[in-house]
Structure 1
Amino acid sequence: MHDISLDGSYNARGIGHRRRPWLVRSAGLDALTSGGERSLRDVGVDLVIDLREESEQAGRTHTIPVRSVPLYGAAPPSSGTLESVYAGLVRDRGSRLTAAVIAIAEHPGTAVVHCTAGKDRTGLVVALARLAAGDARAEVVADYAVSGETVRPQREAIAAAQLSGVTLSAAARAASERLHLDSPAEALESALDIVDELGGVAQYLRTHGATSGHVAALADRADAHAAIASGSVA
């Protein structure tokens, strides 16, 4: 993984080679400037996969094609623990998580995946895609954990405003702040443990609508981009 500086967004990283990643992840892109769009296009991005609900979306300033794959089917939770929210997504929204992974697998170019902060919904979808592509679990979890360092300073005031009108115990408030701002490794590990209980990543994706061809395409995409970037393929 490597950081990508985006004017108009944040928490952007490329997966794979620095100059030609096979997948990019980011926070929301609605306010992306022309310079930010150019930064994405310069690394090959030609599709945006937006995981947010329609109610979260604003007018877009960029011209990159967008494929909308909302995950929750309702407004995102504003309180609760990361582990419980992730467990709910993995157990109850597997078809939507898989639809997003299929969108990555079926796109012949490089997609950027985003939600609002680029850590939770994006973190789960990117983790599933990367693990299906053959990336090591430790690398995937380490990439996820980086998001908290970027998200907290960007969204601390927003989270405080969202929670200001909610009556919560001290423990519940701390859990909700963690939900909004942090990306601790153990949270993703807990979600991936559930996926393993359900048969592992490939089986999980196939159960929820992916084909073996989709799973193979992810590995092929990662390998092909690595070969192109290294210069071993003309």
Structure 2
Amino acid sequence: MEELTRWIDLEGAVNARDLGGLPTSDGGETRRGRIFRADNLQGLTAADVSLLVTGLGLRHVVDLRSNAEVALEGPGPLTQVPEVRHHHLTLFAERGRHTDVDADTIDGDRVLPWAERELDEELRVSGIYFGYLRDRPDAVVAALRAMSRTDGAALVHCAAGKDRTGVLSALALEVAGATREAIIEDYTATGERLELILKRLRASDTYRGDLDSRPTDDHMPRRRYIQQFLNVLDDRFDGPMGWLTQHGWTDSDTASLHARLRA
């Protein structure tokens, strides 16, 4: 996998990359230049906006941040670009002060009924991810549909571009037929930029308190976290597609997203 070619170099974001160029189960690869993922877009420069909108044809931004984050940080410079349509779809009820990074408490009966009451870190993180699906299935499905639109490229982002964005990217890649190993590698690639991501977020009053409440290493996206998440979807719903189908996803939706991400 030519990992380095998927990164998008921006002045005002550090975790932007293409979901294209990843191997698929039939021996192909996902299509480049159609769906991107990123961290917070608040710091984009004029040159960044030009690259994304003019150079890469960006037309849809899926913003997974909470209402509080958008209110405190602002909607971002891309909202001033008339060619770009914004889809604000928050995924959770906040457990940290303004974000989900301090979500230490998991209701084991609701989120992980098959687990022991004393949760290890793997189950804590995957439990947070299942919280997105449990609390906001409508937003998950709507976000994937927005990412499927054909009138230009789409970009999905949150604050770090790690957890919320990681889950939506994993689901999109699953629909597109990417291999599980490719999905896991895309998820863990954020770890290469983690120090830069945390440095950016700690510069903001919105995120500093939640981030500093846990050791830096706790924020690392580890492969076992996304593996656990996907494995439980396999066990309980016959895979991510089974979960999506139960929540209104249609064959037409699958065809649209598949067409976006497949050559």
Contact 2:99 2:210 in 1 (8 A): no
Look up the match of 2:27: none
Matched, 1:26 2:38: yes
Question: 1:132-211 alignment to 2 at 5 Å?
Answer: 132-155=175-198, 158=202, 161-162=209-210, 173-174=214-215, 177-179=216-218, 181-197=219-235, 198-211=237-250
SS of the residue corresponding to residue 16 of structure 1 reads coil
CA deviations on 1:28-68 (whole Å, 9 max, x unpaired) are 11221111112212122211110111210114223233111
Contact 1:130 1:140 in 2 (8 A): yes
Q: Gapped runs of 5+ residues in structure 1?
A: 167-172, 227-234
Look up the match of 2:165: 122
What fraction of aligned residue pairs are identical, expressed as a percent?
30
- Give the partner amino acid of 1:10: V
> Number of matched residues?
214
Residues 142 and 163 of structure 1: CA distance in aligned 2, closer, same or farther (over 3 Å): closer
Matched, 1:68 2:88: yes
**TM-score in terms of structure 2 length:** 0.73
Contact 2:31 2:260 in 1 (8 A): no
Residues 94 and 199 of structure 1: CA distance in aligned 2, closer, same or farther (over 3 Å): farther
- State how far apart, in whole Å, the 2-side matches of 1:70 and 1:39 are: 26
RMSD between aligned alpha carbons? 2.4
**TM-score in terms of structure 1 length:** 0.81
- Give the partner amino acid of 1:12: A
CA deviations on 1:101-130 (whole Å, 9 max, x unpaired) are 122124532100000000100000011011
Shift of 1:194: 2.0
Look up the match of 2:67: 54
- Give the partner amino acid of 1:56: E
CA deviations on 1:162-219 (whole Å, 9 max, x unpaired) are 355x6xxxxxx45xx455x311111111111122121212221121122111011111
Contact 2:13 2:41 in 1 (8 A): yes
- State how far apart, in whole Å, the 2-side matches of 1:95 and 1:19 are: 26
Contact 1:20 1:43 in 2 (8 A): no
- State how far apart, in whole Å, the 2-side matches of 1:199 and 1:20 are: 28
